[in-house]
A and B are shown apart, each in its own frame.
Chain A
Amino acid sequence: MHHGDSQGQSTQAETRRAAAGGLSRRAFVQRLGALGAGTAAALGSRAESARAQYGVNWSDQLPADQLVAMYTDMLKIRLWETKVKDLILKGGFRGVAHLYVGEEAIAVGICRALRKDDYIASTHRGHGHLIAKGGDMAKMLAEITHKATGYCKGYGGSLHITDVSLGILGMNGIVGAAHLFAAGAAYGIKVRGTDQVAVSFGGDGSLQNSFFTSAANAAAAWKLPWIGVIENNGYQIWVRAREVYGTVDLAKRAEGFGIEGRVVDGNDVLAVYNAAKYAVDKARAGGGPTVIECKTYRWYDHYGAGGARIGVDGAFGLGYRSDREVRDWMAKDPIRRFRHFLISDRVLSVEQADKIEADVAKAVDEAAAFAEAQPVPKPEDGLKNVFAQGAVPLRNV
């Protein structure tokens, strides 16, 4: 129900593009300089930057159906999380959430470069990672409202929601732990001798406890197929990263360990994809780890919906950041940018782009209705799953 539409859309898009005698993407990029539009300039610089950094602009080789799938995934994250925000504001929400809105380009750009059998380890702000890796929006909503049929049967909730079958080593409420587990998984890949890779996501706040240090050192020493993704949204909970860090470009830290560090615009899904594709290909070929820092911004508060309103994007009036800063970043909306690109590049018509958005909105509404109708867990189930076998005894009677 959540993956069927992108294929159909992209076929349509291809057909229309062919019918319109559309330019190839490569030809289009070559003509951009002459157009002089803002988007064109941004795209041109991305393409140049990609060629300079990686020798090739990987995103230029993405077929239309993949581009459309990326756009669809970004919208899924945006609309699913916006639904969660609205449900929280309505009251009586059976859960908590750390919203990822504004950072969609990172999850989608990275995961598009991965195979299903690659691993990711996620964060407390990880709904987007799960959706980008192919997670089911309905089972996700059931889980974050602690229903018995959710991904984790209501045990885990938002902070621990995962689909192990998609190679997701879990979301994690402990900041930074993901780096260590992904590097460990990368070591396991080396032991098994496959060409998989393992990616960890972490915020700018995830670099200080020893998890990242241990991961980076071992990955560099033994050329592990590990990719550390730093989602630098500028804030560690409510503390500005620049007030507690001596460096601005956090990817530079990787260099001290002997790892290539890349800094990309985290609101440009194709720039993120370029970096990811480069890192993934390198890791698969035995070239070792890469750290990718994506500069981005969190539209909402650290958790919950403080400063937000139903039906309105963004959270304002939060004491630790200015509303102007929020609006500046919202103007760099990664989804609007990508939509503009897809339409300019004739991958999608305006109508097609709108239709995708409407379809995703409908799927999100269906997910919410599904979650709402699901049963709550049985109380005594809390005593199960402590060990593989049996249940532990109750101790309050």
Chain B
Amino acid sequence: MPKNMHYAILEAIQGEMRRDKLLVLLYEYQRPSAGWQGRSINLEAEFGRPRVQFCAIDEQWIVGAALGMAMTGVPAIAHIPSMATFIPFELMFNHAGKLRHMTGGQAAFPMVLWADMATRSPYQGGQHADAGLESAYARLAGLKIVVPSNPYDAKGLMVSAIRDVDPVIFCHYPMPATGPDVPDEPYTVPIGEAAVRTEGSDITLVGYAPQTVEIAKAVEELAKDGIRAEFIDPRTLAPLDGVMEPILQSVKKTGRLLPADEGSYSFSNCTEIVARVAEALPGVKVKRLAFPDAPAPGAPEMINYMKVDAAKIAAAARKMVKG
């Protein structure tokens, strides 16, 4: 078992805080400590205040302070909980993403917004199960957005995010400890590069974060029917150009594109991916699977019916290949 997601992220931050004596972490209640196989990381104990500081329920402060620090040469990570993903929207929209451009390149915010993301879990009812908000952030110019799907990518992308001179939103979906082992040493996963998870020739499946679990299962199901699916995990949503390269190559080969989205159907990252493919490769077959344009209901019967899962991905892919 590789290191778990939280441990891998904290290990990335720990390495960077040791390397950069000014790097600060502000957070709310999600204490920066984690354990794995008898080892533990506790950033509060190691770095103390003011470099590691818990704050009031005040995302405007956490993100705004990180921006203010970053402007003045103190790099910062702002960690906010999933139900507050949009509270700092204005700060990211009208400030973080625009300052470099507005000042003709004089000033910038080298900060990381470490945003916990909600999944389509039952019993939350509306506000705590609204996945896919990274799509709204991806619409904003001047922000880089990464969405790791496993602990290895999480650590590498967090290191890249911290070292990046532009503001980066690190979307932290709670993902299982799968994938490659996570080295102890710092390493980077480049922002703007997709990962081809499975190679295939019949259909291109695209999805990130929670949907990677469902797509991986669907790939196995489809193989039983003799359908070889290629599965690509974008990992970065903005900037998207580099991410599109392997997707375009893949669809050129398969002629079929099926992205699966934990988020809603309309105006999502999957919408964008389909649009770019359709533009570049006219005539290919495209389809999207997503949550409906509805809030997430609490009852499991309703939310499970509405979300995308492996069986539905496999069924849609089969239809596209054979139907």
Chains A and B are bound partners: yes
Tell which of A187-195, A273-281, A374-382 binds the partner: A374-382
B284-306 to A contact mask, C-beta < 8 Å, 1/0: 00001111111101111111111
Complex alpha-carbon distance, A390 and B297, angstroms: 16
User: What are the residues of chain A within 8 A of B309 when measuring CB–CB?
Assistant: 396
Residue pair A173, B54 in contact (C-beta under 8 Å): no
Residue pair A243, B54 in contact (C-beta under 8 Å): yes
Q: B281 within 8 Å of A by Cβ?
A: no
B302-323 to A contact mask, C-beta < 8 Å, 1/0: 1111111100100110000000
Give residues 192-249 of A contacting B (CB, 8 Å).
205-210, 236-239, 241, 243-245
Q: B102 within 8 Å of A by Cβ?
A: no
Q: Knowing A154-B299, A397-B316 are in contact, say whether A380-B57 is a contact too (CB < 8 A).
A: no
Residue pair A377, B124 in contact (C-beta under 8 Å): no
Residue pair B301, A379 in contact (C-beta under 8 Å): yes
Residue pair A382, B29 in contact (C-beta under 8 Å): no
> Given A206, A378, A396, which contacts B57 in the complex, CB threshold below 8 Å?
A206
User: What are the residues of chain A within 8 A of B307 when measuring CB–CB?
Assistant: 396
Most chain A CB neighbours (cut-off 10 Å) among B57, B59, B128: B57
Residue pair B122, A396 in contact (C-beta under 8 Å): no
Q: A155 within 8 Å of B by Cβ?
A: yes
Closest to B27 in A: A239
> Given B56, B293, B298, which contacts A205 in the complex, CB threshold below 8 Å?
B56
Complex alpha-carbon distance, A159 and B291, angstroms: 22
> Given B59, B288, B300, which contacts A94 in the complex, CB threshold below 8 Å?
B300
Residue pair A156, B298 in contact (C-beta under 8 Å): yes
Residue pair A173, B83 in contact (C-beta under 8 Å): yes
Q: B47 within 8 Å of A by Cβ?
A: no
User: What are the residues of chain B within 8 A of A237 when measuring CB–CB?
Assistant: 28-29, 57
Q: B42 within 8 Å of A by Cβ?
A: no
> Given B123, B291, B301, which contacts A95 in the complex, CB threshold below 8 Å?
B123
> Given A157, A208, A395, which contacts B265 in the complex, CB threshold below 8 Å?
A395
Q: B245 within 8 Å of A by Cβ?
A: no
Residue pair A377, B289 in contact (C-beta under 8 Å): no
> Given A154, A173, A397, which contacts B127 in the complex, CB threshold below 8 Å?
A173
User: What are the residues of chain B within 8 A of A159 when measuring CB–CB?
Assistant: 124-128, 298
Q: Knowing A209-B87, A392-B293 are in contact, say whether A154-B308 is a contact too (CB < 8 A).
A: no
Residue pair A395, B297 in contact (C-beta under 8 Å): no
Residue pair B295, A146 in contact (C-beta under 8 Å): no
Q: A174 within 8 Å of B by Cβ?
A: yes
Q: A101 within 8 Å of B by Cβ?
A: no
Residue pair B289, A396 in contact (C-beta under 8 Å): yes
Most chain B CB neighbours (cut-off 10 Å) among A160, A244, A382: A382
A385-397 to B contact mask, C-beta < 8 Å, 1/0: 0100000111111
Query: What is the distance, in angstroms, from A154's C-beta to the closest C-beta of chain B?
Result: 4
Residue pair B306, A396 in contact (C-beta under 8 Å): yes
Complex alpha-carbon distance, A241 and B303, angstroms: 35
Query: What is the distance, in angstroms, from B296's C-beta to the closest C-beta of chain A?
Result: 8
> Given A147, A154, A243, A396, which contacts B297 in the complex, CB threshold below 8 Å?
A154
Residue pair B298, A95 in contact (C-beta under 8 Å): yes
Query: What is the distance, in angstroms, from B304's C-beta to the closest C-beta of chain A?
Result: 7
Q: B61 within 8 Å of A by Cβ?
A: yes
User: What are the residues of chain A within 8 A of B265 when measuring CB–CB?
Assistant: 395
Q: B55 within 8 Å of A by Cβ?
A: yes
Leading 5 A-B pairs by shortest Cβ distance: A382-B302, A379-B305, A157-B298, A208-B58, A146-B299
- Further contacts, 5 of them, CB under 8 A, given A156-B125, A172-B127: A209-B58, A209-B60, A379-B305, A392-B292, A397-B312
Give 25 CB contacts A-B under 8 Å: A94-B123, A95-B298, A96-B123, A146-B122, A146-B300, A148-B299, A173-B128, A174-B83, A208-B58, A209-B87, A237-B57, A238-B29, A239-B28, A377-B297, A377-B301, A379-B302, A382-B297, A382-B305, A382-B306, A386-B294, A392-B292, A395-B293, A396-B292, A396-B306, A396-B307
Using a CB–CB cutoff of 8 Å, the interface residues on chain B facing chain A are 28-29, 31, 54-61, 83-84, 87, 122-128, 264-265, 288-295, 297-309, 312, 315-316
